[in-house]
Amino acid sequence: MRFFLFALSVSLMHCTIAQMYLRKKQNIGFYTGGTFKDAQFNTLSVGITRSMLRYFEPEIGLRATLPLKAPSNNTELHNVYLSAGLNLRKSLFKINERKVGRSCRGEIIEIFAAPEYHLLVKSQTDRYDVGQFSLRAGLGLFHYQTGNSKRSASWNMKAQFYYRYVPGPITNTMSIKNEFGIQLRIFKFKTYDFVK
């Protein structure tokens, strides 16, 4: 009987100090990225986003085009756009699954497409189009980790490799053209302690 009471008290004590964090739906994200042209850094984009309903990530941010004339001019912004888009994503498969301690870890490959609109807000010349539509599509890679840690439930980071397609004929008045690029997205989720 003593052994039973001891075992029961130890198990109850373990339950009172255990923590298991789960994600809430509330989150905020930050993204940054850029494109390359002629072996030089061509654009820089930054903005905010959020994850909604597992498949949608609306976003709004700024895109700055850098001039490619000379390395000394790379600090001057050529064009600045206000960009908005809707990132539609779908996870494809897991890679590099492994068990570390009591948690499972791995990476997930996803596919995404994002219709975008870019509104020109600042330019050093008036020859460019004021607004442009584009479609960004490609592959994403992000890390997942199961377990009870608050950090693994709170944060999610993903890298996206994409191709931006601008529909219609390419003209000299367009500063955004078909291009390859990369983007880094960091999400912060609210969490709650499932045990409490």
Top pLDDT among 162 and 40 is at 162
Q: Please answer whether residues 87 and 58 qualify as being in contact, where contact means their C-beta atoms are separated by less than 8 angstroms.
A: yes
Give me the mean pLDDT over the 127-139 stretch.
Answer: 91
Q: Please answer whether residues 86 and 58 qualify as being in contact, where contact means their C-beta atoms are separated by less than 8 angstroms.
A: yes
pLDDT tens column, 30-48:
999 999 777 677 899 999 9
Top pLDDT among 174 and 151 is at 174
Select the highest-mean-pLDDT range: 19-23, 42-46, 77-81, 172-176. Answer: 42-46
pLDDT tens column, 55-94:
999 999 999 987 765 555 555 667 899 999 999 999 999 9
Q: Please answer whether residues 159 and 182 qualify as being in contact, where contact means their C-beta atoms are separated by less than 8 angstroms.
A: yes
Q: How far is CA 39 from CA 36, 42, 132, 139, in A?
A: 6, 9, 24, 22
Distance CA 35, CA 29 (A): 20
Q: How far is CA 189 from CA 20, 27, 116, 118, in A?
A: 15, 4, 25, 28
